[in-house]
């Protein structure tokens, strides 16, 4: 029996099909992640799995209980930490957890010891009696996660657990997630649009885009399936992309080509031989290459290869684009 299982899950909001025929299963004890950009359908799927939304069609089960037929049983088995933090700013950390414990019907005699345990786990014991309004974003998120653990769920759902946090804080949260997983032997289902997060945390990843799952596999297998090398080429915006693409398609050792606006990604088995040929093409077509790089495949490349585009709102992409714009300005 799987901890999480969906079969042909669909959720429509009027004309928008947010979740489009999604089927996957998560083994007990796994950390499984949905990786996808804004609007991919990650939160909608998670809200169906946590019984907060009803599917339009298809089936979803948690620990063998159907979300539609047995929502109460499902809720007993899960913890859910929403995308937006839900803690009350004017209560202390501990008061927030007491509230959460009562909402989850934890026996009164056990509330104190359970709260002590989770505070210890996420290292908030020292700050527990201070109002949450004094907490940093990372501390609020940790408190949210603590709240989701109080009733010791079998399956923990984390919707974008580190979105908007700086990289150091994100890394710290990853450590807590790993600790929770190891100490409680919990199945964890998380969503993210950070490649590195998916890579670091997940045993398996489902890449989701436009409501559809594009591929499900371990990060390692995904990267290995890409071939040995990735050549990224950025060219001037005013070039004839079609003729460039058709020249690239004739290249030997190139197994797959993606174009996202003025950026081409070539998946190659022998990149060092391909690069000189790219410069030949560039000469022949008198096109201007603004940058070219040869790298080992990353999850970014996997994402591009399955969806045809980058995850645009990723902070690092944003920063890279800003850096690139700055460099261009400096060059003028």
Ligand X SMILES: Nc1ncnc2c1ncn2[C@@H]1O[C@H](COP(=O)(O)OP(=O)(O)OP(=O)(O)O)[C@@H](O)[C@H]1O
Which residues bind to Mg ion, rule: CB under 5 A?
42-43, 83
Distance CA 307, CA 239 (A): 23
Can you tell me the distance from the alpha carbon of 203 to that of 303, in angstroms, rounded to the nearest whole number? 17
**Segment near ligand X (CB under 6 A); pick from 39-47, 58-66, 123-131, 317-325:** 39-47
Stretch binding ligand X (CB under 6 A), from 10-18, 60-68, 167-175, 290-298: 10-18
What HEC string does 40-56 produce? CCHHHHHHHHCCCCCCC
Other Cβ atoms within 10 Å of 247 Cβ, number: 17
Taking CB under 6 A as the rule, which mask of x and - marks residues 78-107 in contact with ligand X? -----x------------------------
Query: Which of residues 86 and 232 has its CB atom nearest to Mg ion in the complex?
Result: 86
Distance between CA atoms of 182 and 38, rounded to whole angstroms?
Answer: 30
The item of Mg ion, ligand X, none sharing an interface with residue 40, based on CB under 5 to 8 Å by kind, is ligand X
* Residue 16 interacts with, from Mg ion, ligand X, none (CB under 5-8 Å by kind): ligand X
Shortest distance, position 143 Cβ to ligand X, whole Å = 21
Please give the Cα distance from 182 to 163 (Å, whole number). Answer: 23
Q: Which of ligand X, Mg ion, none does 38 bind, CB closer than 5 to 8 A by kind?
A: ligand X
Question: Minimum CB separation from ligand X for residue 41, in Å?
Answer: 4
Give one DSSP letter per residue of 64-125, joined into a string.
TEETTT-HHHHHHHEEEE-SS----TTSBHHHHHHHHHHHTT--HHHHHHHHHHHHHHTT-G
Residue 193 binds ligand X (CB under 6 A): yes
**Shortest Cβ distance from residue 260 to ligand X (Å)?**
19
Residues that bind ligand X (CB under 6 A): 13, 16, 18, 36, 38-44, 83, 193
């Amino acid at each position: 029996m799987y901890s999480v299982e969906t079969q042909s899950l669909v959720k429509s909001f009027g004309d928008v099909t947010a979740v489009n025929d999604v089927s996957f299963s998560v083994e007990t004890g796994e950390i499984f992640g949905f990786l996808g950009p804004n609007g991919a359908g990650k939160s909608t799927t998670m809200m169906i799995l946590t019984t907060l939304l009803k599917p339009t069609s298809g089936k979803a089960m948690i620990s063998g209980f159907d979300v539609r037929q047995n929502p109460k049983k499902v809720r007993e088995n899960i913890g859910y930490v929403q995308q937006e933090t839900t803690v009350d700013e004017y209560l202390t950390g501990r008061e927030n957890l007491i509230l959460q414990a009562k909402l989850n019907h934890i026996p009164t005699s056990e509330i104190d010891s359970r709260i002590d345990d989770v505070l210890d786990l996420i290292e908030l014991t020292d700050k527990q009696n201070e109002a949450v309004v004094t907490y940093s974003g990372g501390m609020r998120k940790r408190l949210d996660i603590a709240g989701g653990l109080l009733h010791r769920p079998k399956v923990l759902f984390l919707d974008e657990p580190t979105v908007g946090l700086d990289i150091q804080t994100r890394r710290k949260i990853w450590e807590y997630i790993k600790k929770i997983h190891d100490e409680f032997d919990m199945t964890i289902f998380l969503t993210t649009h950070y490649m590195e997060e998916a890579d670091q945390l997940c045993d398996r990843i489902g890449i989701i885009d436009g409501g559809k799952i594009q591929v499900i596999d371990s990060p390692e297998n995904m990267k290995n399936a890409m071939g040995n090398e990735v050549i990224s080429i950025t060219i001037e915006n005013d070039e004839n992309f079609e003729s460039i693409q058709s020249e690239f398609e004739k290249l030997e050792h190139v197994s797959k080509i993606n174009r996202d606006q003025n950026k081409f990604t070539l998946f190659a088995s022998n990149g060092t031989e391909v690069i000189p040929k790219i410069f030949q093409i560039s000469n022949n077509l008198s096109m201007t290459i603004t940058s070219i790089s040869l790298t080992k495949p990353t999850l970014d490349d996997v994402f591009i290869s399955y969806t045809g585009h980058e995850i645009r709102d990723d902070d690092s992409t944003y920063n890279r684009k800003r850096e690139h714009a700055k460099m261009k300005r400096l060059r003028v």
